[in-house]
């Protein structure tokens, strides 16, 4: 039972005993004691002043005395300031809490009271990544994937059954551009013959298409065409459009080429996802879902939900919903992204009993998801209004920090390479910190630290805000960074190894912690006790940043404790055992919290 639950129950009993009044849960208002007053938790007494028929100060004093006398030692002392009752909790309670944390293998994960809870047996689907198969993943995908994976981890910790899903955009004119460029300029190049990852190889040909296309536009403009006409009549673009028509007509040669090149890309994506530490339970492909979407649009057209214009295109009129008109099918019958998303949503709800559908997509698509929700509702899907668009801001790098393989965006693989290499270089500069380990172990530490720096720096920012990712700042071992928290964890693990070597760790088993707590010990235990509520809040707000901020605060508290109080050299056995127990559980909670962010913790640094 948490401190809040203990105090709430005791406060209700006090009000009943003193004033013969059954207090409702909403009337028990608890808050953290303000720093200028002594106390661990504060009960707001104003809701009971009227029934007590006393001043706020007198009612608070009266309730405080009753709670101290009847709380079985929970309340050590109290002070009343007007209608605020500041309670000092007995050290024995905090030690019991610490022991309970140590014994709980799933500490922080939601436990349903009485075996029942709101999320019990409820399923949440979280969609993230959504790459195109004409180029590799980039910096924007990094933030998307890290947010999506972390949100899924946090919601699982909150009791949801979570299905992590991806929709791969594997069809359309952009795919045909890279296919056509490979046919014209590739000379049969493959990932094996070139030594390139498949997604990078295809991305190179997508760029090549753009280069050659611009040349043709310039030639046509030099011959007297205006820019728009030149873009429309450039031979490469006409060929790409013809290729798309053949693809939609199931031309066997085009489909075979498309399948081969997509397989190269998928293999490249899988390698990048593995390095990033993200995964999916189910992958959908636009090539399979867009026909379902077209079918639903045609049904809606027949039912009068949509209308057809003179050129044959199909539209939805959303003006009554405060929006505009939305294209659903082009005049040539081909679909748009909205059509695909309708089909994908239909298939997902057929495949899974989804209670909540969450789309992790950038804030530039907010309008798109407003429209999708309305259209699904119009088409009769009951889940239409319940869709959640987790909208996040853009991420950029400082100018000149890195070059992209494509020259336009920062490649995810290049970014991860740089982060790991930077971590390796910093490790070399730290004298004696990595003595006695193999090169393979040093490389593994560099990987964990580099990726931890990347993930933490991106996730610590409020996801709804735009952010600037600075590689140099992210890998600093001081300040609010992943490496700082990893280093704190590694320091604790070193202390625990030394304790095990001299058998000091065995003192914990005796559980003879009948010693008065130092202020920094108490602060650290209280911080540990906050962890379950932090996980709840992060789930409610869909915010990994809340986990990051808590982890940093916990690491700071431990380092302050470690600086001021001896652990292994403490002569008092009971105090030494308590501090080892504290250290062990700080490491446990740091590891748990960072796992919710997808960050691995090195045992040594």
**pLDDT higher than threshold 50 for residue 438:** yes
pLDDT at 433: 57
Is 126 in contact with 152 (CB distance < 8 Å)? Answer: yes
Determine the Cα–Cα distance for residues 127 and 129; give it in Å rounded to an integer: 7
Strand order of the sheet with strand 325-329?
Answer: 307-308, 314-317, 325-329
Q: Is the pLDDT of residue 429 over 80?
A: no
* Number of separate helices (H) and strands (E) present in the chain: 23, 14
Residue whose pair of structure tokens reads 């005791």 in the numeric block: 10
The mean pLDDT of 308-332, rounded to a whole number, is 94
Strand partners, 391: 361
Average pLDDT over every residue of 511-524: 83
- For residues 276 and 145, the answer to whether their CB atoms sit within 8 Å is yes
Q: What pLDDT is attached to residue 204? A: 95
In the chain, which residues fall in CATH 1.10.730.10? 422-596
Distance of alpha carbon 206 from alpha carbon 177, whole angstroms? 6
Q: pLDDT at residue 343 above 60? A: yes
- Residue 430: the pLDDT is 57
Nearest residue to 275 via CA among 197, 193, 170, 164: 197
Please give the pLDDT value at position 402: 46
Q: What is the DSSP string of 61-101?
A: HHHHHHHHHHSTT-EEEEEEETTEEEEEEPHHHHHHHHHHH
Residue 234 DSSP label: -
- CA–CA separation, 214 and 230 (whole Å): 10
How confident is the model at residue 483, as a pLDDT?
96
The whole-number pLDDT of residue 507 equals 59
The pLDDT value given to residue 432:
46
Percent of the chain with pLDDT over 70: 94
CATH classification number, 422-596, choose in 3.20.20.30, 1.10.40.30, 3.90.1150.10, 1.10.730.10: 1.10.730.10
Instruction: With a cut of 70, say whether residue 181 has pLDDT above it.
Output: yes
Give the per-residue pLDDT at 117.
58
Can you give the pLDDT at residue 333?
A: 84
Rounded CA-CA distance 8/26 in Å is 10
**Res 428: pLDDT:** 72
pLDDT in tens, 40-98: 999 999 999 999 999 999 999 999 999 999 999 999 999 999 999 999 999 999 999 99
Q: Where in the chain is the domain with CATH 3.30.1360.70?
A: 3-89
pLDDT 10s digits, 223-265: 999 999 999 999 999 999 999 999 989 999 999 999 999 999 9
The answer on pLDDT for 114 being more than 60 is no
pLDDT at res. 386: 85
On whether the 123-168+285-392 domain is CATH 3.40.50.620, my answer is yes
Average pLDDT of the residues of the chain: 92
Give the helix ranges, DSSP H, for 430-572: 439-459, 471-474, 482-501, 507-510, 519-529, 531-541, 544-564
Q: pTM of the entire structure? A: 0.90
Confidence at 111, pLDDT banded by 50, 70, 90: confident
CA 389/CA 359 separation, integer angstroms: 5
CA 129 – CA 136 distance, rounded (Å):
12
Q: Tell me what pLDDT residue 208 has.
A: 95
Q: What is the pLDDT of residue 2?
A: 84
Share of the chain above pLDDT 90, in %: 83
For the chain, where do the domains classified as CATH 3.40.50.620 start and end? Answer: 123-168+285-392
What average pLDDT does this structure show over 23-33?
Answer: 95
Q: What is the mean pLDDT of residues 336-361?
A: 94
Alpha carbon distance 28, 12 (integer Å)? 8
Residue 406 has pLDDT above 60, yes or no: no
Q: Kindly state the tokens that stand for 359.
A: 């789309």
pLDDT of residue 437: 81
235-238, long-range: CB < 8 A, 24+ apart = 236/180, 236/209, 236/212, 237/213
Give pLDDT tens digits for 566-575: 999 999 888 9
CATH class of 3-89: alpha beta
Q: Choose between 460 and 434: higher pLDDT.
A: 460
Measured CA to CA, the distance from residue 336 to residue 333 in angstroms comes to 10
Strands 75-81 and 282-285: unpaired
- Distance, in Å, from the CA atom of 169 to the CA atom of 176, rounded to the nearest integer, reads 12
Hey, which residues does 169 pair with through a beta bridge? 132
Mean pLDDT of 325-336: 90
């Amino acid at each position: 039972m948490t401190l809040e639950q203990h105090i709430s129950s005791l406060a209700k009993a006090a009000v009943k005993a003193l004033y013969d009044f059954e207090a409702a849960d909403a009337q028990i208002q608890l808050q953290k004691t303000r720093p200028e007053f002594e106390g661990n938790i504060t009960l707001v007494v104003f809701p009971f002043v009227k029934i007590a028929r006393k001043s706020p100060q007198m009612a608070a004093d009266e309730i405080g005395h009753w709670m101290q006398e009847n709380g079985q030692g929970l309340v050590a002392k109290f002070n009343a300031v007007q209608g605020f009752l500041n309670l000092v909790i007995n050290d024995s309670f905090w030690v019991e809490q610490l022991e309970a944390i140590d014994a709980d293998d799933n500490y922080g994960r939601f436990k349903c009271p009485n075996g029942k809870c709101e999320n019990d047996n409820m399923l949440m689907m979280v969609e993230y990544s959504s790459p195109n198969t004409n180029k590799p993943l980039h910096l924007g995908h990094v933030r998307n994937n890290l947010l999506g994976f972390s949100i899924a981890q946090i919601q699982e910790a909150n009791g949801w059954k979570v299905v992590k899903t991806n929709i791969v955009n594997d069809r359309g004119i952009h795919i045909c551009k890279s296919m056509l460029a490979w046919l014209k300029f590739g000379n049969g190049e493959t990932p094996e013959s070139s030594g390139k990852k498949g997604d990078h190889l295809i991305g190179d040909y997508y760029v090549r298409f753009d280069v050659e296309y611009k040349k043709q536009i310039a030639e046509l403009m030099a011959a007297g065409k205006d820019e728009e006409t030149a873009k429309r009549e450039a031979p490469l673009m006409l060929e790409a459009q013809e290729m798309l028509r053949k693809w939609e007509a199931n031309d066997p040669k085009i489909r075979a080429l498309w399948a081969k090149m997509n397989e190269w890309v998928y293999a490249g994506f899988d390698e990048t996802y593995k390095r990033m530490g993200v995964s999916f339970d189910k992958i959908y492909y636009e090539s399979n879902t867009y026909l379902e979407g077209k079918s639903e649009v045609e049904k809606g057209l027949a039912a009068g939900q949509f209308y057809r214009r003179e050129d044959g295109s199909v539209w939805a009129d959303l003006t009554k919903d405060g929006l505009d008109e939305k294209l659903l099918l082009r005049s040539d019958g081909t679909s748009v992204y909205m059509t695909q998303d309708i089909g994908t949503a239909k298939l997902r709800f057929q495949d899974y009993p989804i209670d909540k559908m969450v789309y992790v997509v950038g804030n530039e698509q907010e309008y798109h998801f407003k429209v999708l929700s309305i259209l699904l509702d119009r088409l009769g899907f009951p889940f239409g209004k319940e869709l959640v668009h987790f909208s996040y801001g853009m991420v950029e790098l400082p100018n000149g920090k890195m070059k992209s393989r494509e020259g336009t965006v920062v490649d995810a693989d290049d970014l991860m390479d740089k982060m790991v290499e930077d971590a390796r270089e910093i490790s070399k500069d730290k004298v004696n910190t990595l003595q006695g380990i193999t090169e393979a172990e040093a490389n593994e530490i560099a990987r964990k630290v580099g990726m931890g720096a990347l993930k933490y720096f991106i996730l610590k920012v409020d996801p709804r805000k735009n952010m600037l990712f600075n590689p140099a700042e992210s890998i600093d071992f001081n300040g609010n960074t992943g490496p700082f928290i990893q280093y704190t964890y590694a320091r604790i693990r070193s202390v625990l190894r030394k304790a095990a070597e001299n058998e000091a760790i065995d003192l914990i088993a005796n559980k003879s912690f009948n010693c008065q707590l130092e202020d920094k010990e108490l602060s650290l235990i209280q911080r540990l006790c906050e962890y379950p509520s932090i996980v709840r809040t992060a789930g409610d707000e869909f915010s990994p940043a809340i986990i990051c901020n808590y982890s940093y605060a916990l690491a700071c508290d431990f380092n302050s404790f470690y600086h001021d109080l001896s652990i292994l050299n403490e002569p008092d056995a009971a105090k030494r055992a308590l501090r080892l127990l504290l250290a062990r559980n700080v490491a446990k909670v740091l590891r748990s919290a960072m796992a919710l962010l997808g960050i691995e913790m090195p045992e040594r640094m």
